[in-house]
Amino acid sequence: MNFRPRQSEDVGINLTPLIDVVFLMLIFFMVSTTFERHAELQIDLPRAETAQEEQRREIIELAIDAQGRYFVNGQELVNTRPETLRAALTQVSDGDTSLPLIIRADANTPHQSVVTAMDVAARLGIARLSIATTPDRDRD
């Protein structure tokens, strides 16, 4: 029989793996967080005609009023036929189907006018289409 006293080992918690995990989580959150920059100065930027032309080229805006008339980038079309709308969108986009098309339709616009505009855009190959809305602040 062995009656010698056993040597007791110090019981402790190894914090190294815990520190490693916390450090990795910190790095993950730092990399995945988006930061917003808020300007402290209010600046009025100068205006230039070329800058406005470039801005028009980046987005095609199609407005439809309550009577179903089409306005492409602020210019009213001569009629509401799909062929006219197709020609106007082709001319404005210069055949670039990657440009986004924003449809701004009046709340009282006939549904057929919006569907026609979406159909013409699809036939031209415009895939980046969105419909502009305003937030409803009356609902809570």
Q: Identify whether 67 is part of a domain.
A: yes
Q: For 99-112, give one letter per residue: b (16+ CB within 10 A) or e.
A: bebebbbeeebeee
Q: What is the CATH number of the domain that holds 121?
A: 3.30.420.270
Residue 5 falls inside a structural domain: no
**H-helix or E-strand spanning residue 63:** strand 60-64
pLDDT at 57: 53
Give the phi and the psi of residue 130 in degrees, each rounded to 5.
Answer: -140, 155
**What is the pLDDT averaged over residues 76-83?**
90
Containing structural domain, residue 90: 50-131
Predicted local confidence at residue 56, as pLDDT: 46
Structure pTM? Answer: 0.55
Which of 104, 106, 99 minimizes the C-alpha distance to 124? Answer: 99
Is residue 60 within 8 Å of 99, Cβ to Cβ? yes
* Better pLDDT: 77 or 136: 77
In a domain, 39, yes or no: no
